[in-house]
A and B are shown apart, each in its own frame.
Chain A
C-alpha cells in the first residue's frame, strides 16, 4: 500500500509511479475518455471532487474527457450507469462506489470489456471477488487513527483517565467508515482503551444525534468521543449540549473529541477548543493524483498497490498556522 502525505503532492505523479513499482510509465496516445460512475452530488466531497477532477483534467497535458453519471445513492442505478459507460466504450471507468461490495460486478463487466477500472475514494471491499485496477483515495484508517491518537496523547499529557471511547461511525455499507473504525481501534489498542459502543450515524447529523443521546445515558462517565466525520458534528454538538457535556478543553466538564475531515464546523470547534483533533480529508490531492494516473491506466499500465493520501492532524494549537490553512478545501 502506498501512502502519500499532503506535502508530497508537488511531486505526486513521480512519487506514485515510483512507489507503486510500476513497470514503466506508459502514456496513452490522444484523447482519454473516462466514464465516471458517481454516487450522487448530495455530499460536499462528492460535488467538490467532481469539480476538481474536471479542473485537473482540463489542465492536464493529455486530453481527458470526463463522462459523468450520478446514481443518487441508488446501488442498482450505479451498476446501470457503469454498464452504460462500458457500452459506450470509455477508455477507463472511474467508480466512486456506493456499496463497496456491489460495485465488484461492475468492475468485472469492465474487465471483461477490456476497460481498466479506477476506484475513487471508496475502496472495493477487500472480500469482493473483483478488485479495481487501482484505488486512489484517502487513507481512511490513518485519518481516524491519527486523530484519535492525538487525543489520547493529549489526554495522557492532561492526566485524564483513558478508558472507553464512544464511536460515532458513518454508513455501515461504507468501506471508509469501516476503515476509520479500524483506525480508531488501533489507536485504542495503542493506549489501552476500548470502544464502548459503535453508534451508526450514517453520515447524517440527525441520525448521529439520535444514536449518541441514549449512549451518553448508558455511558455517563465517557470522556472521549470519536466521530467519523465533521459532517455529523452539528448533531453531536446538540446532544452534548443537551446532556450538559459541551465544554471547551480546560473546563472540568470537557469531553475529548476526535474527528475527521476538517469541514467548517470542525474548524470552528477547534478554535473554540471543543474539538481536540481533526484529520483533514485531502480531496485536492486525491483528485490531482487520480487525474495524473488516468492516462497511464488507460494506456495499460498496471499498479501493484493502492494510492492512499494522508493528511495532517489539525488541533486547536495549529489550526490557524498558515501552512495548515493552505491545505483547506472545504471552507
Chain B
C-alpha cells in the first residue's frame, strides 16, 4: 500500500504537469466551441513562437545551474539589428541578428564561466545595458523591419501553419538533440548536478557553459527576429518581460532551477504551451483579463514549489 502511494506520488511529480495540460485543454474544449479549431490553434502556435524560441536556449543554461535574465534584451538587440540591416537581403539581415545574439551569448558565457561572475546578477545588469544599446539605435521609437524579413513573417505552410512557428520548433528539436545525443548535453547535466565533481572527472566546465550561453544568445536573438518578422516592425516592447515568462515556462516544464535536470522536449514546449493555452482559452471565453495573471502566477508558484520538493528529495 505504501509502495503504491509512493509510486503514485512519483508519477504525479513526474507526469502531473502533462496531465494538467491535457486536462486544461479538455476543459477549454468542452466550455468553448472555438477553442479546438484549426484556426485557433494556428493562433496559439503564433502566440507561442517567440517564447518557445527564447525558452529553448534558456533551458540549456538552467540545466547548467545558471541563469540568463538578459534574453529579452538580446531579443530586442537582435530585432534592432534587423532594423539596421533593413536594406540588405532578408537572409543577411536574419544572419546578422543571429550573429549579434551569438556574440552577446558568448560575452555572457565568458563573464559567467571564465570570470566566475554570478549569473543572476551579471545578466540582470546586462539586461538593462543591452536594452540601452538597442534604445540608442532605435531612439526609443518604432522602427520598420525590411520588406523581405516582414514577408518571412507572413509565410504559412499549407496556408495554415506559420513558418515562424516551425522555425521556433526547429530550434527546440535541435537543442533537445544536442542535450540528449551529444557529449555536450551530458556535460551540461553533469555540471548542473555537481559542478565540482564534473570538474574533477575532467569535464571542460567553462567551455561547456560558454556553449550553453552561446546557444541561449542565438535562441533569444531568433525570438526577437521572429517577432520583428511577424509584426513587420520593431517596438521598444520587444522582449520586455520575456525573461520571466521564459524562466516560468522552463521551470513549469520540469527543468530544475537548481540545474542538472530538465529537457527542451517535451518539457519546455509544454511549459510554454500551458501558459499560452490558458491565456487563449480564457480569452475565447471572454474571461476578465485580470484572471490570467492570477492563474499563471499560481501555476508558476506550484511549479517552483514542486521543483524545490524534488530537489530536496534528490539531495536526501
Instruction: Report A's interface with B, CB cutoff 8 A.
Output: 41-44, 46-48, 72-73, 169, 172, 196-200, 202-207, 209-211, 213-215, 217-220, 231, 234-235, 238-239, 241-243, 263-265, 330
* A213-B283 contact in complex given A172-B290, A218-B34, C-beta closer than 8 Å: yes
B47 and A42 contact, CB distance less than 8 A:
no
Within the assembled complex, what's the spacing in Å between the Cα atoms of A205 and B140?
Answer: 15
B236-256 contact mask (Cβ, 8 Å, vs A): 1 or 0: 111010000000000000000
Please indicate the chain B residues that have their CB under 8 angstroms from the CB of A209 in the complex.
46-47
A206 and B231 contact, CB distance less than 8 A:
yes
A217 and B284 contact, CB distance less than 8 A:
yes
A215 and B140 contact, CB distance less than 8 A:
no
| B7 contacts A by Cβ under 8 Å | no
Chain B positions 186-222 with a Cβ under 8 Å from a chain A Cβ: none
Within the assembled complex, what's the spacing in Å between the Cα atoms of A203 and B289?
Answer: 14
* A42-B131 contact in complex given A213-B280, A214-B40, C-beta closer than 8 Å: yes
| B225 contacts A by Cβ under 8 Å | no
Q: Which 3 A-B pairs have the closest CB atoms?
A: A214-B283, A217-B34, A47-B140
| CB-based nearest B residue for A198 | B289
Please indicate the chain B residues that have their CB under 8 angstroms from the CB of A200 in the complex.
289-290
Please indicate the chain A residues that have their CB under 8 angstroms from the CB of B32 in the complex.
217-218
A234 and B232 contact, CB distance less than 8 A:
yes
- B297–chain A nearest beta-carbon distance, Å: 14
* A242-B135 contact in complex given A198-B289, A204-B240, A235-B231, C-beta closer than 8 Å: no
B135 and A42 contact, CB distance less than 8 A:
yes
* A238-B230 contact in complex given A172-B289, A172-B290, C-beta closer than 8 Å: yes
| B39 contacts A by Cβ under 8 Å | yes
Please indicate the chain B residues that have their CB under 8 angstroms from the CB of A206 in the complex.
50, 227, 231, 237-238
A214 and B237 contact, CB distance less than 8 A:
no
Give the contact-size bracket for chain B.
35 or more
Instruction: Report B's interface with A, CB cutoff 8 A.
Output: 32, 34-35, 37, 39-40, 42-43, 46-47, 50, 128, 131, 135, 139-142, 154, 227, 230-233, 235-238, 240, 276, 279-286, 288-290
B142 and A264 contact, CB distance less than 8 A:
yes
A231 and B230 contact, CB distance less than 8 A:
no
Most B C-beta atoms less than 10 A away, residue of A172, A219, A235? A235
- A217–chain B nearest beta-carbon distance, Å: 4
* A211-B283 contact in complex given A44-B140, A47-B139, A198-B288, C-beta closer than 8 Å: yes
Chain A to chain B contacts (Cβ below 8 Å), 12 pairs: A43-B140, A44-B140, A46-B140, A47-B139, A207-B237, A214-B282, A215-B283, A217-B37, A218-B32, A219-B286, A242-B39, A242-B42
